[in-house]
Chain A
Amino acid sequence: MLNVNGLRKTFGTLVAVDDVTFAVAPGELLGLLGPNGAGKTTTVSMIAGLLRPDRGDVLVGGSRLERDTDPVKRRIGLVPQDLALYDELTARDNLRFFGALYDLAGSALDKAIATALELVELGDRARDKVKTFSGGMKRRLNLAAGLLHDPDILLLDEPTVGVDPQSRNAIFDNLETLKRRGKALLYTTHYMEEAERLADRIVVIDHGRVIANDSLSGLQALAGVGAGERATLESVFLTLTGRSLRD
């Protein structure tokens, strides 16, 4: 569904992403892990069409993503790391606006809003202003806003930052549901236990380059964990990326 081929992006002399390649299949959740500044968000930005790669391309269902108004963009949903919501508007008005950006209108938009709110269990708060929501509710609404146009691919950039365990668990349930519906999910996170629980495959990126791309068990083998031991993803991650601080 999503093929990322040889992406490279530089900012001046800084090489942020270099020759990044991976693919996400329908019904698969790919965990994109890496230390701070590794190039995760830059990669997601290029896939979402927010940044133009210096080299390489992004294929969605075999079609290359090019212009701002490329119809291929309709097949991608972005859930940004920031709570990209208007606090002064109601949940419904937020979704109405974001849905309209994808040309949704009338009953189709109403239905999409109802479906998205039902998924994230915010149907009863639709008419409340977002500023009255808790952090977890905002995170769930942030997810709903990325789902309105029923994309085939969902890009989730650290979608659980700062939420309580209950909301995090609810988001995980939502993602499991989306996987079952055949969506291709790309999930960046710093929380190793989230990737362990959700990811079918994991891509580890460091200094802008992919240093591993495998299932959890494959990564454990790659990291050279001894026979009979079952290493955590965190220990594998630290083995692959080192222990030096990345502030």
Chain B
Amino acid sequence: MDDSILLAHGSGGKLSHELVERKFLPFLANPALNKLDDSAIFEASGRLAFTTDGYVVNPIFFPGGDIGKLAVCGTVNDLAMNGARPLYLSLSAIIEEGFPISQLEQIVQSIKKAAEEAEVSIIAGDTKVVNRGQADKLFITTSGVGIISPGVDISGANARAGDKVLLSGTIGDHGIAVMSQREGLRFSMTLESDCAPLNKLVSQMLEVSSRIHCLRDPTRGGLATTLNELARQSKVGIVVEEVQIPVKEEVKAACELLGLDSIYVANEGKLVAVVDPADADKILAQMKQNSYGRDAAIIGEVTNEHPGKVVMRTKLGPSRIVDMLSGELLPRIC
């Protein structure tokens, strides 16, 4: 097979078939996908959750992951955040002409590993190729369907006054790891993205408590934006303690160098949980048993005051409003 992706790989003809059969199928194999029908058929009954996301991360390879891993984990996590057990994903790739096949192979391997860890099957897929310059290397879109057990009702609108706010681990890892690869920033570190599938963590949490009200993963916009979304959706106020929010030293240092605030930096393997205060401690203990929740902490609580707003008590004592991320995260100059 050739070294790079050609336009013909997307035309639907021989080369397209070769691409699917040699580069995707062997690694993602499952009964539904192997049929190579126009659509995958499955049965499911109960409440289903459905989500979709496009992945355009740049650079496509970053410490701790790549666009493939991200595409699987991101969609799996969106399902998990509604308490759904992820079942199936679809995957559509738009590839730029000239993209090295060896890189595509690497990415498919990442997709395979991530799907195996999350225990999901990719049952439908599509590849298209566009002219050089018309896509930045590779864009992936995944959609996912999951099933929600009876009695599970998790939604951003369910937070109530008195609830505790839990965070599964350190913030800012993904955004900083990706930024460290960007040209012109010239800094190097051992930090890796926290990109990970959280569905097992969520199911373990659901095992010990039926009083988890909200779950959300703080991706773009960071912890601050997610907390604001929850406050607005539930029409409640949220208060968090700055000292309780776990941040790695490397992330703190990188944020200082770049003039960023870690609460606005993206995460791809963390979740925020808003839970009944009576269950907070045992949910926290359960989270810490999972490798993706070992740094979990209770970071704040929900209040009736200042509905829709998030307030943070700073290290020194005074409180300040924490707003959503506005505009883009531009490193400061001063």
Do A and B truly interact?
no
